């Protein structure tokens, strides 16, 4: 949670203006909400199927912290006046090139699972 809060602060300091609908910031917030929702779903399945108390506790912790972070990213988009729904395919924001993701470029944009 602290990491996500610091990321939000870093975004604000690095990018003081309002990000655009197709920006890296908006794409990250949207796609990470979907990713975190998958974690919540899996954690709840594990919590409901295990008899191990420590695993249940860990699964519950994962579900609740990931859900809180989903709320934080939702709030970023709301604060920026942007839609929660992506205007294009998932991960499209990563294909914007090295000018937006220093040191990453094409090799990152074509990572497995990115839909590239």
- Whether residue 30 is contained in a domain is answered as yes
User: What CATH number has the domain bearing residue 67?
Assistant: 1.20.1260.10
Digit-coded pLDDT (tens) for 2-45: 566 556 666 555 556 788 888 889 999 999 999 999 999 999 99
pTM of the prediction?
Answer: 0.66
Can you give the residue range of the structural domain that contains 75? 22-84
70/114 Cα distance (integer angstroms) = 20
Q: Number of folded domains in the chain?
A: 1
Residue 112 binned pLDDT confidence (cut-offs 50, 70, 90): very low
Model pLDDT for residues 39-65, shown as the tens digit of each residue = 999 999 999 999 999 999 999 999 999
> CA-CA distance, 23 to 110, in Å (whole number)?
18
Q: What is the pLDDT of residue 10?
A: 60
Question: Is residue 56 domain-resident?
Answer: yes
Number of C-beta neighbours around residue 93 at 10 A: 22
């Amino acid at each position: 949670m602290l990491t996500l809060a610091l990321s939000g602060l870093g975004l604000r300091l690095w990018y003081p203006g309002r990000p655009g609908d197709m920006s890296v910031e908006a794409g990250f917030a949207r796609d990470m909400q979907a990713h975190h929702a998958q974690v919540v779903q899996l954690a709840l399945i594990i919590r409901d199927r295990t008899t191990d108390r420590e695993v249940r506790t860990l699964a519950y912790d994962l579900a609740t912290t990931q859900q809180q972070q989903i709320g934080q990213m939702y709030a970023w988009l709301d604060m920026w006046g942007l839609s929660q729904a992506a205007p294009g395919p998932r991960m499209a924001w990563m294909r914007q090139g090295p000018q937006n993701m220093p040191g990453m470029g094409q090799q990152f944009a074509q990572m497995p699972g990115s839909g590239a």
